[in-house]
Chains A and B, each alone.
Chain A
Amino acid sequence: MSATLKFLENEVQIAALLFMAVVYAVRLVWILRFEFRRERTFPAGSEAAGIGFSLMNVAMPWAMESTRKRPWFYLQFVIFHLGVAAAITATFIIPYKPALLETKPVALAFQTMMGAAFLVGLMRLVRRLREPALRLISTADDYLSLALMILFFAAGVLAVPNRYRTAEWTLILFFGLTAFFLVYVPFSKICHYLYYPFTRYFLGKTLGHRGALPPGKTAADRPLPEGSGTRRPR
């Protein structure tokens, strides 16, 4: 392994990770500085149940019409994000547990996940370019983020066999992209996962308090005869 690759796999990655962590911390402080108003009404449902349902929404494609009617779109989402998880895991396995990837089925599993995500990424790019409604809202960041992910998956497929003696460039490309990502992500739409818990928490809290989430409550569940909205705040 060359000194360049070693430096890229270790020091550069750690520095980039630290940078991302610091920026995320600042970002979280920034979000928390916005005012949050307390609820003044009696609950008609459970905030905790609403928050739980809302946060788990990602794993319940049947819960939303938008995903229920488009199962293929949801499957793409799953494949894409499994690819992301595989690629991130690979950035740690390659430098710190390389022996794992010497087992062929393990390496193949990683390559399959990232390869499938690569294909989904291409499909998403085509969709973004083809549909006028998506084209209208798409920003340079939307295109670059997706293009970078596609490239990242491709680089991951090539890098996972960890052939640093014969094809070092694949690893340099993969870790070079990783370092770039770690620095770029906090400023791009890719960091949406940082906001997901917040948006879902607030929606679940509000609608859980009102008894609108989780859905499917029957009239018999109501605490009659007092009627809705008669319970005291907890």
Chain B
Amino acid sequence: MRHKKAGPSGTVDAPLETKSQRTAVRDAIPSVVGGRLRTYDPAADNVGAFLRLLGERITRPLAVSLTACVHCGLCAESCHYFLARPDDPTMTPVYKADQIRRVFKRHLDWTGRVVPWWVHAGSPRSDEDLNRLKNIVFGTCSACRRCTLNCPMGVDTGLLVRFTRGLLTELGIVPEGVFNVSRDEWETGNQMAVTEEEYLETLQWMKEEVQAELDRPDVDIPVDRADCNVLYTINPREIKFDPRSIANAAKVFHVAGETWTLPKWGWDQTNFGLYSGDDKLGGYVARNVYEAAERLRAKRIVISECGHGYRSTRWEGYNWAGYDQKLPTESVVVTLMRYLQEGRIRVDPSRNPEPVTFHDSCNIARSGDLVEEPRWILGRVCADFREMHPNRRENFCCTGGGGLLSMAEYRPLRLEVAKVKAEQLRATGAKLVCTMCHNCIDGLTDVIKHYRLDMKVVQVLDLVAKALVIS
């Protein structure tokens, strides 16, 4: 087995790359000119701005998570970074959270303001310190929240990491990949800069595919149709790399007799604001979806299989956007379960004979509510379902969470710590690992390739579509 080592502690020291930022400034793109997308200015007082933002943005849940930690260290063994690198004390969640906690203590808490050395309180002194903080919160944590659920005090380290990312994003001190994806979301309304033409063409192509497959010319993939039951929102990855998942959804909706539509604008349910900590971006992208549903008078928003997309659109987005939820908003997995329960679709599990295991997406299982629903479905569409251990809310991250797939500079460390996931996958003996997250597909595919596992990644919808009995 080949293992590319990430190097000893302290080598996650990627410099701040600003080439894309400079190009965006030079081209005067609207999001930069309008001040929505922030770029790095080496001449600015970035430390001062960081401290000002810290004081302005701390909420009550953050404040108590910053003050309550007792340094018991119990979180360490819940983190796949520490489990994979037990000799590296900088990999513990508490160490990572302490990097923002020390600044909070120095500037806002009591003891740290008077006797900082007593409680390890301190302040960033330069942009290099902020870049170091960037490498810790973006590069050594996938914000999976496993430590949060294992903290006896209830300290939400995942929340602290996202908060810190948000402060750095406001200063443009972010990995280049994060900047690029954020730029695309601001500029095009979706994170892969899919054009409207490409979007519509792909949908047309998939419509023709399903019509041919089912020999039913009445199958449709409607766009911007008003008064439907379902407004279906997708991940741009489905347009770019995996359009079959849209075809599968179309097939199931057709068989179930659903009235559904995709919106022409506001179709991207993914949200890089969750990863970058930028609530403004998060609110903008989520609002696009909510307003599309309102404009088309849809009765329900259905989110295709995506972990962070589900968390963002179902839970966080309404709060970021300051938009009171008006419509039921659910994962397509819940929709599929309803169809099965109501007898609107029928399935034959013998069509999926290979051993299948299920990987719980962190954003859905730990920060959301769907744990048993995918299992309920898999129990009906697969002949041989096997649990992975640990599972459900204790599952390990695919290692591509927290936006890490877009940050090439942290890839060696990500793949090194993925050995925890690789061992978990291998132990199942399954040939297929099912997940309800597009991000996890890429994360798991990387792990499978790197650790040479004999497995393929699929989604719940893939297995349902394969098992679908069409009369």
**Chain A bound to chain B:** yes
* B390 and A65 contact, CB distance less than 8 A: yes
Q: A34-B59, A229-B328 are in contact. Are A199 and B110 (CB under 8 A)?
A: no
Which residue of chain B is the closest to A204 with respect to CB atoms?
B154
A141 interface contact, C-beta 8 A: yes
Of A195, A210, A217, most buried by chain B (CB within 10 Å of CB) is A195
Distance of A195 Cα from B61 Cα, bound (Å): 10
Q: Which of A82-90, A127-135, A161-169, A174-182 forms contacts with chain B? A: A127-135
A73 interface contact, C-beta 8 A: yes
Distance of A58 Cα from B329 Cα, bound (Å): 34
Q: A66-B78, A225-B342 are in contact. Are A34 and B375 (CB under 8 A)?
A: no
Q: In the complex, what residues of B have CB within 8 A of residue A42's CB?
A: 325, 328-329
Distance of A222 Cα from B367 Cα, bound (Å): 17
B117 interface contact, C-beta 8 A: yes
A-contacting residues, B29-72, CB 8 Å: 58-65, 67-71
* A196 and B318 contact, CB distance less than 8 A: no
A-contacting residues, B349-376, CB 8 Å: 365-373, 375-376
Q: Select A132's contact among B89, B155, B331, B366, beta carbons within 8 Å.
A: B89
* B71 and A139 contact, CB distance less than 8 A: yes
Q: In the complex, what residues of B have CB within 8 A of residue A188's CB?
A: 111
Q: In the complex, what residues of A have CB within 8 A of residue B323's CB?
A: 40
Q: In the complex, what residues of B have CB within 8 A of residue A199's CB?
A: 61, 64-65, 68, 153-156
Q: Select A228's contact among B64, B69, B118, B370, beta carbons within 8 Å.
A: B370
Q: Select B71's contact among A37, A142, A198, A206, beta carbons within 8 Å.
A: A142
Distance of A226 Cα from B365 Cα, bound (Å): 20
Which residue of chain A is the closest to B342 with respect to CB atoms?
A225
Which residue of chain B is the closest to A74 with respect to CB atoms?
B152
Q: In the complex, what residues of B have CB within 8 A of residue A131's CB?
A: 73
Q: A139-B71, A199-B65 are in contact. Are A36 and B60 (CB under 8 A)?
A: yes
A203 interface contact, C-beta 8 A: yes
* A140 and B150 contact, CB distance less than 8 A: no
A→B interface (CB under 8 Å): 31-32, 34-37, 39-42, 44-45, 54, 57-58, 64-67, 69-70, 73, 77, 131-142, 187-189, 192, 195-196, 198-200, 202-204, 206-207, 210-212, 215, 217-219, 222, 224-230, 233
B→A interface (CB under 8 Å): 58-65, 67-71, 73-78, 82, 87, 89-92, 94-95, 98, 110-111, 117-120, 148-156, 300, 314-315, 318-319, 322-325, 328-331, 334-335, 337-338, 341-342, 365-373, 375-376, 390, 392-394
Going nearest first, the 7 A-B pairs with the smallest beta carbon separation are A211-B369, A199-B154, A195-B68, A219-B372, A219-B376, A133-B89, A66-B150
* Contacts A/B (CB < 8 Å), 22 sampled: A35-B60, A36-B61, A40-B318, A40-B324, A41-B319, A54-B154, A58-B152, A66-B75, A140-B118, A140-B119, A188-B111, A189-B71, A192-B70, A202-B64, A203-B154, A210-B368, A218-B372, A222-B373, A227-B300, A228-B330, A229-B330, A229-B334
